[in-house]
Amino acid sequence: MHDSHIHISMSPLKENIESDIQEFLDCKGRKILTQTTDITDYQETIDMYTSLSKKFPDTLQLALGIHPSRFEEGIAKNSIEELDIFQYSQKQYDLFEEIFNNNLDNISAIGECGLDYYGMNEYNQYSQTEQEQLKEIQRRIFSKLCSLAALHKLPMSIHARGVKGDNSCEKDVLAIVAKEGKGTLRGSFHSYTGDKKMLEKILDLGMYIGFNAIITYPSGENVREILKLTPLDRILFETDGPFLPTQSVRKKKNSKKKYGRPVLIKEIIEKACEIKNIPYEKMENVTDQNYLCLFSKTDI
């Protein structure tokens, strides 16, 4: 089994990461792809990746990216740094690119990255104009990240989350991937919760879909439907840890570890097997191959 999307430098994962990786390996876990979100976690994640790779060789892989929701901070910081949000986001990108170029040998993917039109809508905290600006910034930066991925032939871990009932976010992601990648970009749509029509288009582009503990939740019916429609050779598993603990962890009142961690992939695979009516071993073997096919450097 593999974990194709996790954030190892976020608490409480980072404090427990050695025992969490060991527990994953003890259950025949193979690969873990850790993601980054912005300048605040690059260096810490790279340092953890470097030291943990000595202890657990051939287990961890590193993705460097900019989470689309991070630009919202630009509005808050605006008055402090005297940059408008376009200048602020460009500065974030420049810092990202510098760290990316300095660590290119260790980078297996660009992630996480993409578009998020959901978060900015949540608490009505941004004006219509600000929302349009944020979307434009997200699209500009995601375009840059796609062209960087195409240039270096790196796969991507893509976040695409729109407002319910409106698939303009997924449409914009696909348009940018098609334009910048010219058919060459490869990647995983992590934690995809969009509609079935867009799923078809994502699969048409040759992309994979990352499934996590949402399929174990009573409220996860729409994602279970997406899983039913996703062919076996396009399925990946992920925890998105420390977020999204599985349903059994959420239910256990006195469990010490209440967060998403790599070993929970086992429960996610078990649930996926039930949904797809496939034996565990087959599901694990095929999806591990999918992971290696997409994220293994030797395949490029």
Q: In the bound complex, which residue of the shown chain has the CB atom lying closest to Zn ion?
A: 240
Closest separation in Å from C-beta 141 to Zn ion: 16
Helix locations, the chain, DSSP H: 13-26, 39-55, 72-81, 85-102, 128-152, 168-181, 196-204, 221-229, 247-251, 265-276, 280-295
When the beta carbons of 36 and 287 are compared against Zn ion, the nearer one is 36
When the beta carbons of 21 and 133 are compared against Zn ion, the nearer one is 21
When the beta carbons of 133 and 156 are compared against Zn ion, the nearer one is 156
Closest separation in Å from C-beta 34 to Zn ion: 10
**118 neighbors 161 (Cβ within 8 angstroms):** yes
The dihedral through the CA atoms of 136, 99, 295, 211 has a sign that is negative
Binding to Zn ion in span 219-258, by CB under 5 A: 240
Closest separation in Å from C-beta 161 to Zn ion: 11
User: CA neighbours within 13 Å on the CB side: how many for 211?
Assistant: 34
x-marked contacts with Zn ion along 87-126 as a string, rule CB under 5 A: ----------------------------------------
Closest separation in Å from C-beta 57 to Zn ion: 25
How far apart CA 151 and CA 129 sit, in angstroms, is 33
Give the binding-site size for Zn ion (rule: CB under 5 A): 1
Closest separation in Å from C-beta 50 to Zn ion: 21
How many beta carbons lie within 10 A of that of residue 279, not counting itself? 10
Please give the residue ranges that form the binding site for Zn ion (CB under 5 A): 240
